[in-house]
Amino acid sequence: MSEFNLLWLQSGGCGGCSMSVLNAEAPDFYRSLSRNGINLLWHPSFSEASGREFLDLIQRIEDGEIRLDALCLEGSVMMGPRGSGRFHLLAGSRRPMFDVIRALAGQARFTVAIGSCAAFGGITMAGPNPGEAIGLQYEGKQAGGLLGSEWRSAGDLPVINIAGCPTHPNWVIDTLVQLAAGELGQRQLDSNHRPRSYTDHLVHHGCPRNEYYEFKASAEKPSDQGCMMEHLGCLGTQARADCNTRLWNGSGSCLRGGYACINCTAPEFEEPGHCFTETPKIAGIPIGLPTDMPKAWFVALASLAKAATPKRLRVNASTDRIRISPGQHDERDD
């Protein structure tokens, strides 16, 4: 079986997804590619070839001399100013980067957006968006982007959006391996064309604060141990990802580091309309409820849960360390 040729480009972004991929372990990124017959033709940070060698590679792919199985783009597509693309020209040429991306997407069997910027526009699109940043097939929540809502690759798939900010290294590796093995089709993608291998889960699953969530024992400030949904902006009950069951480097996630989930796999997460660390409420009820829970149920269950909260959880939720351990007598009652 011939190798699966992959080209990785970067556009309007910070390079954080590449940094994340380099943190893949057991096996690492390079070993994962080689074990699965994936040939990395070029990456702007990982490859030695540059200048004329790189431009020649791009030309040979466009001319059909080199087969391109997967085009990976990291970072949003920069269309400015005024749709000219001159804010981001391909180094060593006069071509707007978006023209190169569009041409290569037309050659590739599959096109893959690495991270939320490439998928939906992401952080680069936030605010007034002077660079006119967009995603490959989305502009925020709106389908379209550079390639258009109806676009399909030669492999009859839309852009595969491995969304995340940054995306998890294993989400990238798993998706590329599935593509190389011919095992990723439309049914393996969700409604935003993200791989279901990770979006069939919620960040809430496996959260170390779930016991606090069950009893609505809430943190009041960032250093507290309680659930961060009620006051501190956590969207883990809505965010589609497996961050707390598939950890970074075997032990890390935002919530395990004490940070609220900001739902970075979703389009327009970068523009929540309020501070990331605050939970907007109406009549005291958080707007960001679990995706499949009616508000009336939440109010009823929350009231019951709060009434039944064990003292251990109530005390520990608003402190920065465990004051009362399970089964321990509270010494302050003496």
- Give 143-163 pLDDT, tens digit per residue: 999 999 999 999 999 999 999
Break the chain into its structural domains and give their ranges: 4-197
**Is residue 243 within 8 Å of 201, Cβ to Cβ?**
no
The residue behind tokens 């009549």 is 283
Q: What is the mean pLDDT of residues 253-276?
A: 94
Query: What element of type H or E holds 29?
Result: helix 29-35
pLDDT value at residue 297: 62
The angle formed by the CA atoms of residues 184, 188 and 191, to the nearest 5 degrees, is 135
Determine what percent of the chain is predicted with pLDDT higher than 90: 75
* Domain 4-197 annotated CATH 3.40.50.700: yes
CA atoms within 13 A on the CB side of 220: 6
d(CA 107, CA 58): 11
pLDDT tens digits along 100-151: 999 999 999 999 999 999 999 999 999 999 999 999 999 999 999 999 999 9
**Is residue 123 within 8 Å of 47, Cβ to Cβ?**
no
Confidence of residue 216 (pLDDT cuts 50, 70, 90): confident
Among residues 58, 192, 55, 178, which one has the least CA distance to residue 113? Answer: 192
Length of the chain: 334
Among residues 234, 254, 259, which one has the least CA distance to residue 243? Answer: 254
First CA to last CA distance, the chain: 73
**Is residue 17 within 8 Å of 172, Cβ to Cβ?**
yes
Q: What is the mean pLDDT of residues 250-276?
A: 93
pLDDT at 294 over 70: no
Q: What's the pTM value of the predicted model, to 2 decimals?
A: 0.91
**Is residue 68 within 8 Å of 60, Cβ to Cβ?**
no
Confidence of residue 224 (pLDDT cuts 50, 70, 90): very high
